[in-house]
């Protein structure tokens, strides 16, 4: 009797939760229809862009190529049929044995979708997994090998296909994910109801659009448990605040260090929690550290361009540091887009006979030659640039969420589907993770600046051409730069591929060092030595070929931070007494970084 009462209570509880969820869903759906001017008629959905990457033309070209020469396509299909036959035979054997003990195809290293033991031990789920992976492999092979399609169109189709196959992974669905099935049976379906409530909360957070929660946002507060290195804002203008950090050593390097972060995200990726901060670590090594904290712009700054970021950002910071420390020569580190701006500034200063103001330059995961700039270029053909222009014309800025969506698509399994499974199918709350809190704290892009950057760098690759672009009336020529430079890139970087960043070493006239870190765009950079994580490669030479560089490079365990510190010490001169902050406007991390949109 007690069990029956318990089950009845559980059913009532679930029914109440479901009804409550549907009550919340109704107004959200109405808000969504109103926001996008939709009615119940399917005809209204013509307003929605179902081809945001403009891949239809590439797909039609692909079909035409197959029709013109079908032999290779037929050959690949025959190979696929043969692989399926092998999988079927092995799976039948596994069903008889009672477990999956043979594999035709295995997940790639690092693929966390199939880590549950059932994917290996259950003959059924092993078959589901392998059939999915085999199909993914076949689609990629078909696109790669069956036609002589233009490389750019081929890459766009492969990326689109990967987005589709990632979405269709059996791990993303209730009935084909053993972990979700186990949780559903264990909780009596409460996980699905909770997941639906999580979905509604994310829709509310996105004002009708789905804004997937990736972390516990209440767990972090700037200045308390994230971006905590002590310092002060000593200068500010419309575009940035300049932060000076308190010394932690009695003596500091005579030559100050300026860090230029990208303004696509906020600077505190380099100052996460204590012990995981490049800024904190640099201060502990005896550097006088200054960091630019870029403003999160609104429509009032829509006309700020790349030139403004150079003059009002980097050069103004150099002026302020000289005024504060008395040092006219400064070591500068630029991260990602901040590095692109740094190189542009160096060429500008060289032409103005002020090249020595930057004593050494460090480029973290920085693109200067955009010819092979990776998946980002797939989003930037003329048609897509036109759509971005329309968005920016409407708001004066590119909404930071649009950039975030683009980066999420480039790592869809990690940044989209893993949270769909965790939040909506398993009914769990996302884990509090400072890196993902930062990732969600996105920034807008001023329309004028972003148009210039996307067209002149990504699309037309003008930065590598002497006089290809001009800043404040000065033609930019990277080959005039004689400043010692250190390029530090990440081997698995999908935003600034290292084979593309390596091309930057060929553009300078001075001494150039190249170091390759393991991991990706963020983890390869935020890698404190005390964690003894990942590795890096070094080579005293910088030959023309990146393959030759890697073939002759030496692999080292641990972080690249120490090697960089040894390199930059060559340009730090003597030690001086620790500098005190003279002109405090407000404590770090400052007010600009707190602005959210």
Residues recognised as catalytic: 336
Long-range contacts of 27-32 (CB under 8 A, 24+ apart): 28/200, 28/203, 28/204, 28/208, 31/207, 31/208, 32/203, 32/208, 32/209
What is the spatial distance between Cα 17 and Cα 427, in angstroms, rounded to a whole number?
A: 13
What is the spatial distance between Cα 385 and Cα 391, in angstroms, rounded to a whole number?
A: 10
DSSP state of 226: B
DSSP state of 472: T
- The C-alpha angle 465, 499, 412, rounded to 5 degrees, equals 110
Distance of CA 481 to the CA centre of its chain: 29
In angstroms, the Cα distances linking 305 to 293, 308, 351 are 17, 5, 20
DSSP-H helix ranges across 352-497: 382-395, 400-410, 412, 418-419, 434-440, 447-453
What is the spatial distance between Cα 470 and Cα 477, in angstroms, rounded to a whole number?
A: 9
DSSP string, 351-393: HTT-GGGEEEEEEES--S--TT-GGGGGG-SHHHHHHHHHHHH
């Amino acid at each position: 009797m007690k069990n029956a009462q318990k089950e009845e209570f559980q059913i009532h509880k679930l029914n109440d939760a479901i009804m409550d969820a549907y009550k919340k869903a109704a107004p959200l759906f109405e808000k969504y229809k109103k926001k996008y001017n939709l009615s119940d008629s399917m005809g209204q959905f013509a307003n929605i862009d179902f081809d945001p990457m403009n891949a239809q033309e590439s797909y039609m070209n692909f079909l035409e190529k197959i029709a013109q020469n079908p032999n290779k396509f037929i050959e690949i299909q025959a190979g696929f049929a043969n692989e399926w036959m092998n999988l079927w035979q092995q799976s039948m054997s596994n069903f008889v044995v009672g477990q999956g003990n043979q594999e035709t195809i295995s997940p790639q290293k690092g693929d966390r979708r199939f880590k549950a033991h059932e994917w290996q031990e259950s003959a059924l789920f092993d078959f589901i997994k392998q059939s999915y992976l085999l199909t993914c492999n076949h689609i990629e092979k078909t696109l790669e090998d069956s036609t002589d399609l233009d490389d750019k169109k081929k890459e766009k189709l492969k990326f689109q296909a990967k987005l589709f196959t990632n979405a269709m992974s059996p791990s993303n669905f209730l009935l084909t994910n053993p972990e979700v099935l186990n949780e559903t049976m264990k909780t009596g379906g409460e996980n699905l109801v909770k997941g639906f409530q999580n979905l509604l909360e994310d829709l509310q957070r996105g004002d009708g659009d789905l804004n997937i929660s990736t972390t516990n946002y209440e767990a972090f507060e700037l200045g308390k448990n994230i971006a905590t290195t002590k310092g002060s804002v000593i200068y500010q203008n419309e575009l940035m605040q300049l932060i000076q950090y308190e010394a932690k050593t009695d003596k500091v390097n005579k030559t100050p260090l300026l860090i230029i972060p990208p303004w696509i995200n906020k600077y505190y990726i380099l100052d996460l929690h204590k012990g995981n901060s490049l800024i904190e670590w640099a201060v502990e090594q005896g550097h006088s550290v200054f960091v630019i904290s870029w403003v999160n712009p609104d429509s009032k700054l829509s006309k700020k361009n790349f030139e403004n970021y150079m003059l009002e950002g980097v050069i103004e910071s150099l002026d302020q540091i000289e005024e504060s420390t008395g040092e006219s020569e400064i070591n500068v580190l630029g991260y990602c887009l901040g590095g692109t701006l740094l190189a542009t500034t160096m060429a500008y200063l060289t032409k103005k006979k002020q090249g020595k103001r930057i004593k050494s330059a460090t480029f973290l995961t920085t693109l200067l030659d955009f010819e092979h700039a990776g998946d980002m270029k797939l989003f930037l053909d003329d048609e897509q640039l036109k759509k971005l222009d329309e968005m920016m014309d409407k708001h004066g800025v590119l909404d930071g969420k649009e950039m975030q969506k683009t980066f999420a698509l480039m790592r869809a399994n990690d940044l989209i589907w893993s949270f769909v499974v965790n939040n909506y199918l398993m009914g769990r709350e996302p884990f509090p993770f400072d890196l993902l809190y930062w990732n969600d704290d996105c920034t807008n892009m001023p329309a004028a600046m972003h148009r210039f950057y996307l067209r002149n760098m990504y699309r037309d690759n003008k930065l590598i051409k002497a006089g290809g672009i001009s800043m404040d009336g000065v033609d930019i020529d990277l080959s005039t730069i004689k400043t010692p430079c250190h390029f530090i890139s990440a081997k698995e970087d999908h935003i600034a591929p290292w084979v593309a960043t390596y091309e930057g070493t060929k553009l300078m006239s001075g001494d150039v060092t190249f170091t390759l870190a393991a991991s990706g765009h963020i983890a390869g950079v935020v890698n404190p030595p005390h964690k003894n994580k990942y590795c890096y490669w070094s080579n005293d030479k910088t030959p023309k070929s990146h393959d030759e560089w890697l073939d002759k490079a030496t692999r080292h365990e641990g972080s690249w931070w120490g090697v960089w510190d040894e390199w930059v010490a060559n340009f730090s001169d003597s030690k001086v007494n620790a500098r005190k902050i003279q002109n405090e406007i407000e404590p770090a991390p400052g007010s600009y970084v707190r602005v959210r949109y």
